[in-house]
Amino acid sequence: MKFFNEIKMRILVCAAHPNEMKSIKSSLKSLEIFDANIDFLQLWMGSYETIHNLTKYLEKNKPDFLVNIWICWQRGDYGELIQIWRIINSADKELLVPIVFEYAKISSIICLESMARILDDLRWEDYADMESYGVEFIASKYQIPRLILKLPADKIWQGFDKSLLKTSADKLSHIDYKDLMGRIINFDKAQFKPKDNTYIQQAYRFTFQEFEIMKFKINKYEALTKKDFKNFYELNKYLTKIDFLQELEKIFSFDS
């Protein structure tokens, strides 16, 4: 297959384990992609290894787009490919992944410090891994457009069984990489520019720290509702600061 585009992109494809990378690389190398350079980076398992290896790569390279693909643990039967928008770590810290475009079912995930062995490890989430928090933490620092994709292929009670890892990783070959690369190559990087939200800082006179928290809430609102936050502001700008924030929290209360 041939893709043609005026701008030749540099795409970084990340995975955790050698078996995952082998499956992904084999699938991508079977495609003829002429207007993008694809780098492959194995990050290994765990947030600390992920943060170290991704930072080391980005200190010397500047990809136009990052796509993180690997298998994850899940409740119940094997599911379809998911796209991560929110990540909670073991310390209950939360990161939101920008939705550059919708490619798969939008889901949240818990990022653990060790392998998921029992369902209680997932707390309230349906999916778990050990690397997504590190990927999003570093990619956000370097302001790289990104997708974090997970294929639920490991059941919780099988997650510690290394003999199943190769079989699970092989399922990554079922992803439609032809479609995925086409969507990435046609992505307009200008869409990734941060929005100017200073209007709400001026309206409610947020302090610097309050405004930093508010920017996070704005991103969360837009990810949850898939609507422009400015519409919410226009509907509620007559409220006091306290009432405005309480009205916003009502929307978040439906999220679990």
Residues 6+ apart with CB under 8 A from 253: none
Give the 3-state secondary structure of 68-86.
EEEEEEECCCCCCCEEEEE
Vertex 12, ends 95 and 85: CA angle to 5°?
25
Residues 6+ apart with CB under 8 A from 175: 27, 69, 81, 149, 151
Structural domain spans, the chain: 9-190, 194-252
Q: What is the pLDDT of residues 116-157, one digit of tens each?
A: 767 777 778 889 888 999 999 999 999 899 999 999 876 665
Domain 9-190: CATH superfamily is Nucleoside phosphorylase domain (3.40.50.1580)
**How far, in Å, CA of 200 to CA of 212, rounded?**
12
Vertex 54, ends 26 and 193: CA angle to 5°?
100
Phi, psi of 228 (to 5 degrees): -75, 130
pTM of the full structure = 0.77
Q: What is the pLDDT of residues 193-252, one digit of tens each?
A: 667 888 998 899 989 888 888 888 887 888 777 788 889 999 999 999 999 999 998 887
Beta strand 94-96 with 82-89 is antiparallel
